[in-house]
Amino acid sequence: MPTKRPQVRVGCCGFATAHEKYFQTFSCVEIDSSFYQLPRVETAARWRAAAPPDFEFAIKAWQVITHRATSPTYQRTRIGAGDREHCGHFGFNPTIRWAWDETFKVARALGARLVLFQCSQSFRPTKENIANLRRFFEHAKRGKFHMGWEPRGEWDVELIASLCKELDLIPVLDPFKTEPIPVGKVRYFRLHGVTGPRHRYTSEEFARLRTICAGRQPTYCLFNNLAMTDDGQRFQKLLGS
């Protein structure tokens, strides 16, 4: 008999253990390495085939779409010098359209539930950046997955909510730092540690997180702190109890 999909799914930002063990431990994963350099489509297909049928993938979009090539994160990104001046901030030019096509292929091979577009601090709420954001998401092809947007920096919550509603985006946030925004069909939380990546979540904080996750809306909790494997398992245990 098919089992009912849990309303709260827990995982890590990246495979925190060997794949086989990870698949046995968690119900979802966010592929983070794709931000720096996309895996081959064949590799993504192998991950999908190795995972249980009900296991879910999310993937972080290639930074060529979201970040300028001046970002230090480009040290791990292989892209030609001629394309670098066209990278980032959702400019809908041939380089960024190509980067989205490549990201799309990998997401489709994974059967991804969500593609995350994580922005840099330099992507501020200027008229130009908002216009770029609109143009990209109005014209970029869409698959069966959700599009998640994680702005950083000085973005007003009401503006984020308005743009997510207008462009059919899922607001991606850390619920300990930003109040959940009631927009979209799912909630997607990235947990960076209350005081930073070395933070270990307390029982009281997990009780609060469980309350935040309550309700009928599907919710994804992806841990991104140094103790993400242990904290993720602890939170799963709390949900199970």
What is the predicted pLDDT for the residue at 1? 35
Rounding to the nearest 10 degrees, give the CA dihedral for residues 205, 14, 109, 135: 70
Dist CA 207 CA 30 (whole Å): 23
Give me 71's structure tokens. Answer: 């970002």
Is residue 3 very low, low, confident or very high in pLDDT (cuts 50, 70, 90)? very low
Cβ atoms < 10 Å from Cβ of 24: 11
Task: Note the pLDDT tens digit of each residue in 213-224.
Answer: 999 899 999 999
Q: Tokens 């959702």 identify what position?
A: 90
Is residue 5 very low, low, confident or very high in pLDDT (cuts 50, 70, 90)? low
Dist CA 229 CA 12 (whole Å): 7
Tabulate helix, strand, coil % of the chain (nearest 5): 40, 15, 45
* 3 state DSSP class of 63: helix
Question: What is the mean predicted confidence (pLDDT) over 85-110?
Answer: 96
Give me 38's structure tokens. Answer: 């996309």
Question: What is the mean predicted confidence (pLDDT) over 227-241?
Answer: 95
What is the predicted pLDDT for the residue at 81? 86
Q: Is 46 exposed, middle or buried (0-12, 13-18, 19+ CB in 10 A)?
A: middle
Would you give the DSSP letter of residue 34? G
In DSSP terms, 150 is beta-bridged to 118
Considering only 52-66, 75-89, 91-105, 155-169, which range has the smallest mean pLDDT? 75-89
CATH fold group of domain 8-240: TIM Barrel (3.20.20)
Rounding to the nearest 10 degrees, give the CA dihedral for residues 164, 167, 170, 173: -40
Count how many residues are written for the chain. Answer: 241
* DSSP H helical ranges for the chain: 19-25, 41-50, 63-66, 81-84, 94-110, 127-139, 157-167, 203-213, 228-240
Domain ranges, ordered by start, for the chain: 8-240
The answer to whether 44 touches 110, Cβ cutoff 8 Å, is: yes
Task: Note the pLDDT tens digit of each residue in 60-93.
Answer: 999 999 999 999 999 889 898 889 999 999 998 9
What is the predicted pLDDT for the residue at 2? 39
28 phi, psi to nearest 5 deg: -160, 165
Is residue 153 very low, low, confident or very high in pLDDT (cuts 50, 70, 90)? confident
pTM confidence score: 0.94
